């Protein structure tokens, strides 16, 4: 899973960056929340990987309530 840094400025995303970010949703969007974020997914509480293949996810536990403000959504870059 690609995990490049996404910087979200306080005063909004410059128009010049929006096209690039829109393209990133096609390739880098988080598989768990569908957004782009800077660190590990804020929606995920726990991930258990397959011991014999650490790229393979065996179980994912999500938070019932989670902070969506640190995630960039497709509508933020329209």
Q: Name the residue nearer to Zn ion (CB basis): 13 or 33.
A: 33
Beta bridge partners of 47: 60
Q: Name the residue nearer to Zn ion (CB basis): 41 or 72.
A: 41
Q: Name the residue nearer to Zn ion (CB basis): 21 or 33.
A: 33
Residue with tokens 């065996």: 58
Token pair for 36: 């782009």
How many whole angstroms separate alpha carbon 30 and alpha carbon 41?
7
Structural contact between residues 10 and 20, judged by C-beta atoms closer than 8 angstroms: no
CB of 37 to Zn ion, least distance (A): 5
Sites of contact with Zn ion (CB under 5 A)? 30, 32-33, 41
CB of 36 to Zn ion, least distance (A): 8
């Amino acid at each position: 899973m690609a995990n490049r840094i996404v910087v979200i400025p306080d005063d909004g995303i410059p128009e010049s960056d929006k096209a690039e970010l829109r393209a990133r949703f096609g390739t880098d969007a988080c598989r768990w929340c569908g957004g782009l974020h800077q660190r590990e997914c804020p929606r995920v509480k726990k991930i258990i990987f397959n011991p014999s293949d650490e790229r393979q996810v065996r179980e994912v536990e999500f938070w019932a309530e989670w902070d969506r403000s640190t995630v960039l959504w497709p509508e933020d870059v329209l």
